[in-house]
Chain A
């Protein structure tokens, strides 16, 4: 069963959650336990989002509360206590497109689900994706885009990954407002996800995580 903090955070009770953390720290509760509960809460938030009980504002707000909690916990955490990550994901909004609301939600959900995320930002040149794949050795790449111009940019990015000889080394997922199965085929990506949780499922599947 979820602890008190997990419940407060997953129910999006901001003042109560922050007050609880402050009190618990004062009473000498292990900050790692509190962090564990916060993570548990984010899992619950993710599940509620996937089951359409929660929507984007709820997801965004849970992130804001979490930020506040982590800020309170940070001074109490020893270095090196960071939990092991499930695997790496390189992600960015493709060249010419500066939209990032959707991409940021995917980054956030990947992060709270235990992935190490390298976010290349917006309007990411093709070569930057290629370089990042080489440097990090990532097995999973996410391409985001909102405008119809992103269709071309995604295709060009896929082609560059292929010409760099990296196509067999990575799985690529694409997503964004106008992205469909048609566009997946057109770009040659491996999958498209309709929302942030779909991105998490794909990453888990590809990295063999449970």
Chain B
């Protein structure tokens, strides 16, 4: 008999999750129908190759190759970022074309473009997007700010959900300025319960809910197109290799709550509050990551990392503020059988010894500007590493230079498995021939003999 989930070790859970990922289902829960026996074979080979690279138990048949990207597929297909944000069909077409034309071992799913009209409806303030603060030919970018004020830590720590619902949402969505969430705890008894509903009779609050309903309708239109993407590509032989997402608690607070300057001054002015808030954040991140993985059926969760990079924090600051709750997130995800795909922007040379402290064969470190020889030496026996092909090389180099770079990487990091070749950070602009060179060369040269 199969073991119950509660009785499984994290090893067994990971194996169970990855096995499920290896056998995709259609929306009705039946085995997915592949386009052809060849497509099925290719799917299994690609997914197994990636799985072997992660687990460090079996040598993969060759070095897997994987790419991460922003709006590159749009530009490659001849669309502007604005077009693919507003025309879901175009987005779907471009994102599919990218994977089919370049044929990497896995893909990142369809979520980059996002439903532009939904953000119009909600008057989203947290980002600028094409036509809303940046020109149509550029992708969306975050507006840094103090969306949580320096004196609001207690409110956040006390009840993060309440803070997000009633303080944060009204700040980041113009249309939800007067949004207020129902106080469920106050309506337990009939006596007095009616009073709790007064806010929902007020026109500004009703306007906020109306905007939510409209956004919901738009989200359904969007998912009606984008929702089938992962299965369509699976049927063609390509597994989804990143979902979620999640973030280290320090970046959750530093990126979109307090802002860079905010969190950095808090480290001095109110370090204890910051530490408490980081602790309160960690379980939320795990919960979101697990939920994301479940919805998509992809147990590889992208953990996007920013402000712990070399130069951003001292060793001591990293070990005090960044790592402890980040590690909790990693372990929390691992315990649910999920593989954190840590996308480490910038350099991480000074952190390698610290991040070594994770269970073996459970994490992917996707490195951007880190010294890969050093990374292999320090992390190689505990975790899969990948990435590092520089975006500048892909943008302005030649195919031969890209091949030379890939060869060096495979020679340095490929030994014994546990390595995925790919570009170090998301690309918008790159020469297609360079991407082809990177992917095709790896397929040829990366074979383990």
Let me know if B137 is at the binding interface, CB within 8 A: yes
Q: A147-B428, A183-B396 in contact; A99/B141 too (CB < 8 A)?
A: yes
Query: Which B residues lie within 8 Å of A54 (CB)?
Result: 314
- The answer to whether A55 touches B260, judged by C-beta atoms less than 8 angstroms apart, is no
Which A169-185 residues sit within 8 Å CB-CB of chain B? Answer: 177-180, 182-183, 185
Which A73-118 residues sit within 8 Å CB-CB of chain B? Answer: 95-101
Q: A147-B141, A178-B392 in contact; A57/B313 too (CB < 8 A)?
A: yes
Q: How many residues of A contact B (CB 8 A)?
A: 32
Partner of B430, one of A97, A148, A179, A183: A148
Query: Which A residues lie within 8 Å of B139 (CB)?
Result: 147, 149
The docked-state distance in angstroms from the alpha carbon of A148 to that of B138 is 11
- The answer to whether A180 touches B392, judged by C-beta atoms less than 8 angstroms apart, is yes
The docked-state distance in angstroms from the alpha carbon of A48 to that of B273 is 27
Identify the closest chain B residue to A64 (Cβ): B265
As a 0/1 sequence over residues 196 to 225 of chain B, the CB contacts with chain A under 8 angstroms (1 = contact) are 000000000000000000000000000000
Query: Which A residues lie within 8 Å of B265 (CB)?
Result: 57, 60-61, 64
Query: Which A residues lie within 8 Å of B36 (CB)?
Result: none
The docked-state distance in angstroms from the alpha carbon of A58 to that of B264 is 8
Identify the closest chain B residue to A104 (Cβ): B261
- The answer to whether B429 touches A177, judged by C-beta atoms less than 8 angstroms apart, is no
Let me know if B174 is at the binding interface, CB within 8 A: no
Let me know if A161 is at the binding interface, CB within 8 A: no
As a 0/1 sequence over residues 129 to 145 of chain B, the CB contacts with chain A under 8 angstroms (1 = contact) are 00001110111010110
Which B252-269 residues sit within 8 Å CB-CB of chain A? Answer: 260-261, 264-265, 267-269
Query: Which A residues lie within 8 Å of B165 (CB)?
Result: none
- The answer to whether A152 touches B429, judged by C-beta atoms less than 8 angstroms apart, is yes
Let me know if A195 is at the binding interface, CB within 8 A: yes
Let me know if B324 is at the binding interface, CB within 8 A: no
Q: How distant is B137 from chain A, measured CB to nearest CB, in Å?
A: 7
Q: A56-B311, A96-B137 in contact; A14/B268 too (CB < 8 A)?
A: yes
Partner of A148, one of B135, B260, B345, B427: B427
The docked-state distance in angstroms from the alpha carbon of A186 to that of B401 is 15
The docked-state distance in angstroms from the alpha carbon of A123 to that of B128 is 11
Q: How distant is B237 from chain A, measured CB to nearest CB, in Å?
A: 28
Which B373-392 residues sit within 8 Å CB-CB of chain A? Answer: 390-392
Q: How many residues of B contact A (CB 8 A)?
A: 38
- The answer to whether A151 touches B395, judged by C-beta atoms less than 8 angstroms apart, is yes
The docked-state distance in angstroms from the alpha carbon of A120 to that of B403 is 39
Let me know if A12 is at the binding interface, CB within 8 A: yes
The docked-state distance in angstroms from the alpha carbon of A180 to that of B430 is 15
- The answer to whether A148 touches B391, judged by C-beta atoms less than 8 angstroms apart, is yes
- The answer to whether A101 touches B429, judged by C-beta atoms less than 8 angstroms apart, is no
Let me know if B37 is at the binding interface, CB within 8 A: no
- The answer to whether B138 touches A96, judged by C-beta atoms less than 8 angstroms apart, is yes
- The answer to whether A98 touches B264, judged by C-beta atoms less than 8 angstroms apart, is no
- Central interface residue in B134, B261, B267, B268, by most chain A CB within 10 Å: B268
Query: Which A residues lie within 8 Å of B314 (CB)?
Result: 54-55, 57-58
- The answer to whether B425 touches A178, judged by C-beta atoms less than 8 angstroms apart, is yes
The docked-state distance in angstroms from the alpha carbon of A41 to that of B233 is 58
Q: How distant is A202 from chain B, measured CB to nearest CB, in Å?
A: 18
Let me know if B346 is at the binding interface, CB within 8 A: yes
Query: Which A residues lie within 8 Å of B346 (CB)?
Result: 177
The docked-state distance in angstroms from the alpha carbon of A57 to that of B260 is 9
Q: How distant is A93 from chain B, measured CB to nearest CB, in Å?
A: 10
Q: How distant is B344 from chain A, measured CB to nearest CB, in Å?
A: 13
- The answer to whether B260 touches A101, judged by C-beta atoms less than 8 angstroms apart, is yes
The docked-state distance in angstroms from the alpha carbon of A54 to that of B317 is 11
Partner of B311, one of A55, A95, A97, A147: A55
Q: How distant is A188 from chain B, measured CB to nearest CB, in Å?
A: 12
- The answer to whether A182 touches B397, judged by C-beta atoms less than 8 angstroms apart, is yes
Query: Which A residues lie within 8 Å of B143 (CB)?
Result: 98
Query: Which B residues lie within 8 Å of A151 (CB)?
Result: 392, 395-396, 429
- The answer to whether B313 touches A55, judged by C-beta atoms less than 8 angstroms apart, is yes
Q: How distant is B103 from chain A, measured CB to nearest CB, in Å?
A: 22
Let me know if B393 is at the binding interface, CB within 8 A: yes
Identify the closest chain B residue to A59 (Cβ): B264
The docked-state distance in angstroms from the alpha carbon of A24 to that of B150 is 29
Residues of B within 8 A of A (CB): 70, 128, 133-135, 137-139, 141, 143-144, 260-261, 264-265, 267-269, 311-314, 317, 345-346, 390-393, 395-397, 425-430
Top 4 A-B residue pairs of the complex, sorted by shortest distance between their CB atoms: A57-B264, A96-B138, A186-B396, A60-B264
5 contacts between A and B (CB under 8 A): A180-B390, A180-B392, A182-B396, A186-B395, A195-B311
